[in-house]
Amino acid sequence: MRRTAIALVVVLIVVLSVMPGVAAAATRTGGTVVVADGETIEGDLQAFGGSIVVRGTVEGDLQAVGGTVVVEGTVDGNVQATGGTVQILGTVGGDVAASGGTLSVGDDARINGSLEAGAGSIAVDGTIVGDVRLGGGSIVLGDTARIAGDLEYEGDLTRADGATVDGTVTEREGLNVGSDADFTIPGAVLTVYGMVVTLLVGAVLLALFPVTSSAIAERATRDPLRTGGIGLLTVVAVPIVLVAVAVTIVGIPLALAGGLAFGLLAWVGTVYGRFVLGTWLLSLADAENRWAALLVGVVTVAVLRLIPVVDPLVRLAVFLLGFGALVAVLADRYRDRRGRREPARQSPDADDSGAEPAD
């Protein structure tokens, strides 16, 4: 267990050294970045990821770059978003500047400032208090759309009977619109960045724990259904246990420590999941090399992310396999060590009852 703790610390140091922005509370990166319902981010938030979802509250500005950017909750400041799909479904206290393949403003959405967007297709069904400037291949104002200011647009505009624009409506050519975010990172760069980090962490794990890593791969490939079930059960059960522990004041520190340990273990499990996938793919070609397996697994998951329907299923399966195998192997090692220690606790001269004989 001491070696395990040391390894996890080393992994954490490596990751933080190559991801300096992740340690800051106002910056989040990852395959999926979520501000959970009920969660509040004090100040501004910069988010980079394949999918960015804000269900809670951001008290400052939101700057987001991702494949999908969704604001379901509340952003008190401005929103600057660049993504394949940008959705404003909640409330934005300031302005919205967006660029992407598609932009939609939902029925219940409210933007208290202005909206400026450039996208292939734009659909507005919510309320915008300020002016609106839109540039797109197709622009649709739905029945519930309400624009209190002026509307400038370039593109094919379709306006439903129920849509209202209190100001002027002007078609303008050469309209320069879109996100003026201070950062512009293409999605491909983010994908490569994530691959590099995963490869670094995986290399550290394979170097420190070659035997354990091989046992994890063997366990997952030998019995994938049971291993995935262990991963799913652990993911469901541990948070429930942590919540139960946190009910008491004394249990709150334990629950926090347990939550951090569980999160780190789950993250390591995602890396092992890619190693497991690569090991299985190499076995199909009768090849065996742990370093090649790590590379093949990481690249395969990255390529499959290009397929929207397949991506979430593959990432879930890979995570459950890697995490389940990690939990199962660690549990087996713990039972083996405990079993070896039990005989040592009893004296060789002890009788069947376990009591020491008198001198």
Burial readout 232-252 (b: 16 or more C-beta within 10 A, e: otherwise): eebbeebeeebeebbeeeeee
Nearest to 205 by CA among 12, 1, 351: 12
Range name among 55-59, 85-89, 235-239, 279-283 with the lowest pLDDT average = 235-239
- Within 10 angstroms of residue 306's Cβ, the number of other Cβ atoms is 11
Question: 296-344, pLDDT tens digit by residue?
Answer: 999 998 888 777 777 788 888 999 999 999 999 999 888 888 777 766 5
Q: Is the pLDDT of residue 265 over 80?
A: yes
348 pLDDT band, cuts 50/70/90, is low
Q: Which residue has the higher pLDDT, 34 or 12?
A: 34
Question: Is the separation of the CB atoms in 319 and 269 below 8 Å?
Answer: yes
Residue 25, pLDDT score: 39
Q: Which residue has the higher pLDDT, 147 or 176?
A: 147
Residue 33, pLDDT score: 87
Q: Among residues of the chain, what percentage have pLDDT more than 90?
A: 46
The angle formed by the CA atoms of residues 194, 283 and 232, to the nearest 5 degrees, is 55
Residue 156 sits at φ, ψ, to 5 deg, of -90, 105
Average pLDDT of the chain? 81
Q: 3-state SS of the chain?
A: CHHHHHHHHHHHHHHHHHCCCCCCCCEEEEEEEEECCCCEECCCEEEEEEEEEECCEECCCEEEEEEEEEECCEECCCEEEEEEEEEECCEECCCEEEEEEEEEECCCCEECCCEEEEEEEEEECCEECCCEEEEEEEEEECCCCEECCCEEEEEEEEECCCCEECCCEEECCCCCCCCCCCCCCCHHHHHHHHHHHHHHHHHHHHHHCHHHHHHHHHHHHHCHHHHHHHHHHHHHHHHHHHHHHCCCCCHHHHHHHHHHHHHHHHHHHHHHHHHHHHHHHHHHCCCCCHHHHHHHHHHHHHHHCCCCCHHHHHHHHHHHHHHHHHHHHHHHHHHHHHHHHHHHCCCCCCCCCCCCCCC
The angle formed by the CA atoms of residues 299, 45 and 61, to the nearest 5 degrees, is 135
C-alpha to C-alpha distance for 342 and 356, rounded to whole angstroms: 16
Residue 188, pLDDT score: 56
Q: Is the pLDDT of residue 232 over 80?
A: yes
C-alpha to C-alpha distance for 7 and 326, rounded to whole angstroms: 14
Q: Is the pLDDT of residue 355 over 70?
A: no
Range name among 106-120, 141-155, 303-317, 332-346 with the lowest pLDDT average = 332-346
Q: Which residue has the higher pLDDT, 339 or 183?
A: 339
| Residue ranges per structural domain of the chain | 26-171, 187-340
Q: Which residue has the higher pLDDT, 2 or 37?
A: 37
